[in-house]
Structure 1
Amino acid sequence: MVLKKIKDKRKKLIILFIICLFIFTAAVNAENYNVIFNHLDAAGDDYGPGNYLYPQNHIFQNKGNLFDLQSMTIFESKSEYKIRFSFSNLTDPWGAKYGFSLPLLEIYIDNNSTGSNQLFHSGAGVSFDPDFNWNKFIKISGWWIRAFNPDSQKENLLNINELSLNEPGVNNNFSLNKKDNDIFLILPKSEIKSLDNSKIVVMVGSFDPFGYDHFRSLSKSKSYWQIYSGNEIPLTKAPRVLDILVPGGSSQKEILKGELPAIPYLEIDTDIAAVEPTIIDYLKPINKISVSILLFYIFLLIFVIYRFKYHN
């Protein structure tokens, strides 16, 4: 061992300390994410405008809140964003690639001066506020991630291969994983650009690989595979989303009750000054590993000092 060749015990101790400090710093940097946005949504509101019911098939029954998005948190590192979508109850009756089968997530991002005010496809049955012009659209199922710009070539919705459960093409820039009831989406900054002071719309539907735009269709009567709608408006103009992230003070029932309702956006305000972390922050799960490593190396250093008699 190199340390054995060094006769000066004090030099050995200094070198050992530097090695420990380097390893600890690397461990801390591996978890170097800052929370730039967090939004909580009402629990148990995956009923669209208030009167939608799940299909009658057994995979939807007696489970509860299968499409209920409870919160979204955006973490930022030097090179990427990590978005956590926290659901009430993610299930996987069909054995999906990413571990969840039923929700369909659509995320529209406005972080540029130009963009589109229209849905990429009309399957969601909604519209946008006049001052929301998206330039990045991300669509997620349990089998694939798809990303589009306003000028992207649209999918052929009559092509059965694109509506299947197979991945039509791998997007190497994005990654997705699931842990418990959380879905994590990783977005490189080189692909998504900055989210500083951007706008975002998040919608959840029921994934149907053979449904128009992958949304499960509505029905005026209770059905085995369709979502029951008690609305009086025509089904062709009714929203097919079950849950949305609602701005504070707004009501999802009121937002979604009309024909092709306008979905309000959330603002990601990164101008708010960051608060210095407290001891509570350091004890949060994301920092527990770093704190544990620090304590381990302090213990190791004390052991080495007394074991090899580096003290006077």
Structure 2
Amino acid sequence: LSDRIGFSYSQMPAERAVEDLIAALLEIRRQVIGQNREAVLTLALDGENAWESYPENGNAFRRLLYRRLSEEQRKGTLKTVRFSEVLGLPSVPIPRLATGGWAGDFAMWAGEPEENEAWDRLSRARRAVLAYKEAGGDPKVAEKAMGLVYAAEASDWFWWYGQDTAFPNNPPFDEAFRALLQAVYKTLGKEPPEELFVAARPPIAPQGAPGRVKPTLDGKGEPEEWKGAAYLPDPDGATMQTPDDLIRGVYLGFDEGNVYLRVDLRDGVRARDLVGQGFRLHVYATAPGEEGGAAFPEGSRVSLGFPLQQRITLDLDQVREGEAVLVRYAYRDGAWVLASSPADLRGRRAYVGEVVEMRIPYTTLKAEPGDTLRLAVVLEKGGKVLDTAPNANPLSLALPQRLTGREVLFLKDPEGDEHGPGTYAYPKDQAFAPFKGLFDLLEMRVLDSGATWTFIFTFKEMTNPWGAPAGFSHQLLNVYLDFKEGGRTDPFAKGAKVAFDPEHPWDLFLKAAGWPQYGQRVGFPEGTDTADGIVVGSNPADKQVIVQLEKRYFNPAPGQRVCLYVLVGSQDGYGPDHFRPVGKEAGQWNLGGAENEDAPLVVDYLWPEKGVQEAMLSRYGGGKYAVLKPYCVTWP
């Protein structure tokens, strides 16, 4: 009922909405009145959020609802009460309060680096108050400090962190949250920790995604050698302490064991011209698994938008014959300390010529395949920052997962068939650029990885304009497996607008999307689903969606017949089961090319032979959905 008020009734006339709610309340009364005449039903929802979607801010709906509730109260059917009036009624203890929320899980409030860091900062502030109390501190001071902690525990602070909101890491909320926690320490008579001066900013979007490169490091910066890298132009006139805006742009890429950076300087300035002039070029980065970090780079009081936990430094006065060793520093107890290891000495190198080219081993960065780093490049001279790239937001680098296991299945899908029944066209919003390839499934591989199966889906293109936590914004995968008797022939949830071959009902459903709260699920024919035992990720550089599934759900015997339905849709957080709608004409947010309302919402379907997908998906209309045939294989 709360959901109806929050999300449905705003789209109805007030009279119809109120009668629907009253009817629901009376039906609940009918079901429980025989067992408990004192039953209390609670309607709870965010008090202000719903009304912005209603005509007249919901005034007409509420007036009519109060009038109808008063009428029912006079009839003796329903009675409105305050909580204080029912506290004395007989009650039943609840031994365990279930974890949950209106969004299904807590992915909107926790899980992304900025969200987790905010919770950790709050936890440390709370522990500081408790330690003050235990040490015999002034009770009034402790009470005031704990009141600030309670204010910081409001869930809305964490809603605004991360990439899964319309305004990622909204600066006013970030600043206000950090100010609250700073006030906790000041109330206790302590200096706020440095971490509370670190602004949380979303990663900047470079041109292209960081990909695999294998440059010949010689300081020349040949374009072909950096073709797979992301490029971040550094605009002039940024917020710097001096007008020396020397960095023109940064290239970022990687291979299986190293991160590569190329720094280009503004026109007329060669990198070798800075040698012997007192310049240092730093790469500040996060260190996976570590807490804290410096708030500002050395020589500046401007935050780079993330905690600075390690620094890789090129001292341009130490360049010899165009080459220099990179030196690693770690931030420990408020100071930068030397933390280089001789083990990777040969790997961490810089080459200075027309440009600066750097090779930084994963081992230097204390990173593993699958880790995500945030980093920025800083040019400094004489202890003073001259230029940074980016200027206030970090670059994000997702190192590719190392996919291991024996390949047991490989299926190709025709390139260029991301048009459903043959007629579908992309939405028109720029978020769907380059307007081809995003839904074009090219192949599916399955690896036997021991306790899990690793499903790898490779697409023609992959972008992440909305900052999905799993690394991909557009692709929505529904996989149905038929490997035993029984099952269902309709989709797990109403969304795809297809039906399945009656000869091959499905036994297991896998759902993968970039948002874990709904895109990391295992479903069963009886209608239940779980996020347990499935992990969804990606290798953006290789344009791969990766699904790891525990074998307890699916473990066919060698030689067993297994049939697969693999559906690709366009992910829409507000669409039916997160499928993007298809209209007759493409709009800003909807696909185009449907003949009628029975059109499938499937953009690509895995089938190796050309034309089969189009034939199946085009048979819809007259109240009937397209019926899909599965692709069947013999399990090796």
Would the TM-score normalized by the shorter structure come out above 0.5? yes
8 A contact 2:443–2:459 mirrored in 1: yes
CA distance in 2, matches of 1:105, 1:82: 14
CA distance in 2, matches of 1:192, 1:62: 37
CA distance in 2, matches of 1:35, 1:153: 30
Name the SS of the counterpart of 2:614 in structure 1.
Answer: helix
Q: 1:75 to 1:125 in 2, by over 3 A?
A: same
Give how far 1:201 is off: 0.5
Which residue in 1 is equivalent to 2:3? none
1:237-256 matches, cutoff 5 A: 237-248=598-609, 250-256=611-617
Give how far 1:133 is off: 1.2
Which residue in 2 is equivalent to 1:200? 564
Matched, 1:183 2:545: yes
Give the AA of the match of 1:140: A
8 A contact 1:36–1:270 mirrored in 2: yes
8 A contact 2:561–2:632 mirrored in 1: yes
Which residue in 2 is equivalent to 1:50? 422
8 A contact 2:556–2:635 mirrored in 1: no
Deviations 1:170-206 (A, max 9, x none): x241112211201111111123232742111000001
Of the structure 1 ranges 198-207 and 242-251, higher mean CA displacement relative to structure 2 is found in: 242-251
Name the SS of the counterpart of 1:66 in structure 2.
Answer: coil
8 A contact 1:54–1:61 mirrored in 2: no
Matched, 1:270 2:270: no
Give the AA of the match of 1:183: V
Give how far 1:247 is off: 4.5
Matched, 1:124 2:489: no
Give how far 1:62 is off: 3.1
1:1-312 matches, cutoff 5 A: 33-144=405-516, 145-153=520-528, 171-179=531-539, 180=541, 181-194=543-556, 196-229=560-593, 231-232=594-595, 234-235=596-597, 237-248=598-609, 250-259=611-620, 260-271=625-636
Give the AA of the match of 1:97: P
Name the SS of the counterpart of 1:52 in structure 2.
Answer: coil
Q: 1:222 to 1:81 in 2, by over 3 A?
A: closer
Which residue in 1 is equivalent to 2:146? none
RMSD over equivalenced CA pairs, Å: 2.0
The structure with the larger Rg is 2
8 A contact 2:412–2:608 mirrored in 1: no
8 A contact 1:54–1:227 mirrored in 2: yes
8 A contact 1:117–1:130 mirrored in 2: yes
Runs of 4+ with >4 A deviation: none
Structure 1, unaligned runs of 5 or more: 1-29, 155-168, 272-312
CA distance in 1, matches of 2:574, 2:404: 41
Give the AA of the match of 2:506: W
Give how far 1:250 is off: 4.9
Give how far 1:116 is off: 1.1
Deviations 1:202-245 (A, max 9, x none): 0000111111111111112231111111x43x22x111110000
Name the SS of the counterpart of 1:191 in structure 2.
Answer: coil
How many equivalent residue pairs? Answer: 224
Name the SS of the counterpart of 1:84 in structure 2.
Answer: strand
CA distance in 2, matches of 1:88, 1:113: 35
CA distance in 1, matches of 2:632, 2:554: 16
CA distance in 2, matches of 1:81, 1:174: 10
Question: RCO higher in 1 or 2 (8 Å CA, sep ≥ 6)?
Answer: 1
Which residue in 2 is equivalent to 1:293? none
CA distance in 1, matches of 2:404, 2:463: 30
| TM-score, scaled to structure 1 | 0.67
CA distance in 2, matches of 1:74, 1:182: 13
Q: 1:149 to 1:198 in 2, by over 3 A?
A: same
8 A contact 1:217–1:226 mirrored in 2: yes
Give how far 1:88 is off: 0.6
Give the AA of the match of 1:175: V
State the identity %.
Answer: 30
